[in-house]
């Protein structure tokens, strides 16, 4: 049994997903909370290269790819990361609509091995909608570092659905997942969720019931070598998200990044501008030697070449500095904390703190225009 993958394009409409499903043997939905490595699982199976940003709302529409396993073709649909199917934000609505549509033969729910109790909220909601569910517990390497052990057999028995553990960054660990998906789709394994919630209860009561069950199951399947394994993270959160220090620290970090981006981009921008200017003079000499007409020189050199040279010399250096720095904040896990700090402020204008991250990226164009124009 071999695994081969093929990219089919990203961020396409549900109508296109339906068309692609006709050429595949099975359609698999991939769901999960933000920052659980869902897109890493997607990339590992399909061979695509989506950005695996660890802030909420990174995937805002369904992305698809295909892979083949044991002579069967699987269409994998990367559903937007969401914490719940009960709210009304864009990513929750897209996820809820797709899962409820019944277009998937199987829904794979990706959990973070270090935060199973929190992630089970979404898994329970999906199992209440469809019985065809497979649980993929990702980030086992991080769980091992924190001394967390998970009893997968007991986990599967308590939920009534298959549970598979992987470390998606190591592609060879995905073999168990692909085999489990194959077995479920071909009827060798039949999921039978044991989690059901009364349709008559209110939304708030349902949430309370789900949380009580996240907690009971997690206590049974997870053992901790160190009970205070997340004590350091909580101490950091108390500072970075506090009312007193949260906003000042955030402004300091962002201000430092903007300063490094703008000031640091000056030198490479000047070098690129001089290089393109020298090459432009050489092109003028070449066109003059060829006796090229003025209109052709104007189109190719004054129009196309000079415009391209300006864009590259002005935009490339800031991007080469800003995005690695922003990625560094991603890896530190600071970007979700920025969204948390600004959420109340943004809600006053009917927005979300998550939008602060895209606004930070938008400052790049403003800085370049102010600096160079």
Distance CA 308, CA 286 (A): 19
Please tell me the predicted confidence (pLDDT) of residue 187: 92
Distance linking the first and last C-alpha atoms of the chain: 59
Of 76, 84, 78, which Cα lies nearest the Cα of 33?
84
Distance CA 277, CA 318 (A): 20
Report the DSSP beta bridge partners of residue 69: 3, 72
Tokens standing for residue 320? 């080469």
Of 67, 81, 84, 83, which Cα lies nearest the Cα of 27?
67
Please tell me the predicted confidence (pLDDT) of residue 87: 65
Please tell me the predicted confidence (pLDDT) of residue 34: 82
Query: What's the half-sphere exposure (Cβ side, CA atoms, 13 Å) at 71?
Result: 0
**pLDDT by 10s per residue, the chain, length 373:** 455 544 443 343 455 555 555 678 999 999 998 888 888 899 999 886 554 444 444 444 567 889 999 999 999 998 888 888 876 666 677 778 888 887 889 999 999 998 898 899 899 989 988 999 999 999 999 888 888 899 999 999 999 999 999 999 888 899 999 999 999 999 999 999 987 665 555 555 666 666 777 778 888 898 888 766 667 777 888 888 888 898 999 999 888 988 888 888 888 999 999 999 999 999 999 999 999 999 999 999 999 999 999 889 988 898 888 888 888 887 777 888 888 888 888 888 887 777 777 787 777 665 544 444 4
- What CATH class does 3-224 carry? alpha beta
Q: Got the DSSP string for 261-304?
A: HHHHHHHHHHHHHHHHHHHHHHHHHHHHHTT--HHHHIIIIIII
Please tell me the predicted confidence (pLDDT) of residue 214: 73
Read off the pTM: 0.68
Burial 213-245 (b: 16+ CB within 10 A, else e): bbeebbeebbeeeeeeeeeeeeeeeeebbeeee
Please tell me the predicted confidence (pLDDT) of residue 59: 45
The widest CA-to-CA distance across the chain, in whole angstroms, is: 84
Please tell me the predicted confidence (pLDDT) of residue 369: 46
Of 345, 327, 114, 113, which Cα lies nearest the Cα of 234?
114
Question: Where in the chain are the domains?
Answer: 3-224, 239-372
CB 237 within 8 A of CB 337: yes
Distance CA 22, CA 271 (A): 53
CB 129 within 8 A of CB 206: no
Report the DSSP beta bridge partners of residue 112: 138
């Amino acid at each position: 049994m071999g695994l081969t993958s093929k990219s089919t394009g990203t961020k396409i409409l549900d109508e296109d997903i339906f068309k692609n499903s006709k050429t595949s043997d099975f359609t698999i939905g991939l769901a999960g909370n933000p920052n659980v490595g869902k897109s890493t699982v997607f990339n590992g199976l399909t061979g695509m290269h989506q950005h695996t940003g660890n802030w909420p709302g990174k995937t805002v529409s369904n992305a698809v790819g295909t892979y083949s396993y044991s002579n069967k073709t699987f269409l994998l649909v990367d559903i937007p990361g969401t914490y719940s199917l009960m709210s009304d934000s864009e990513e929750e609505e897209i996820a809820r609509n797709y899962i409820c549509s019944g277009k998937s033969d199987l829904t794979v729910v990706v959990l973070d091995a270090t935060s199973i109790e929190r992630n089970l909220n979404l898994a329970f909601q999906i199992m209440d909608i469809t019985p065809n569910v497979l649980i993929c517990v990702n980030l086992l390497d991080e769980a091992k570092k924190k001394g967390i052990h998970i009893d997968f057999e007991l986990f599967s028995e308590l939920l009534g659905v298959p549970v598979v553990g992987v470390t998606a960054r190591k592609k060879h660990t995905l073999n168990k997942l692909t085999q489990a998906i194959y077995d479920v789709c071909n009827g060798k394994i039949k999921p039978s969720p044991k989690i059901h919630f009364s349709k008559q209860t209110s939304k708030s009561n349902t949430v309370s019931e789900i949380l009580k069950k996240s907690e009971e199951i997690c206590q049974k399947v997870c053992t901790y070598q160190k009970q205070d394994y997340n004590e350091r993270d909580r101490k950091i959160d108390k500072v970075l998200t506090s009312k007193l220090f949260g906003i000042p620290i955030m402004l300091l970090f962002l201000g430092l990044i903007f300063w490094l981006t703008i000031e640091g981009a000056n030198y490479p921008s000047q070098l690129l501008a001089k290089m393109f200017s020298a090459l432009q003079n050489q092109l003028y000499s070449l066109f003059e030697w060829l006796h090229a007409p003025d209109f052709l020189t104007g189109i190719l050199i004054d129009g196309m070449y000079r415009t391209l040279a300006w864009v590259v010399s002005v935009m490339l250096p800031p991007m080469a500095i800003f995005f690695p720095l922003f990625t560094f904040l991603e890896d530190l896990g600071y970007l979700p904390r920025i969204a948390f700090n600004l959420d109340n402020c943004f809600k006053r204008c009917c927005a979300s703190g998550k939008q602060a991250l895209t606004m930070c990226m938008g400052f790049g164009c403003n800085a370049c225009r102010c600096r160079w124009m």
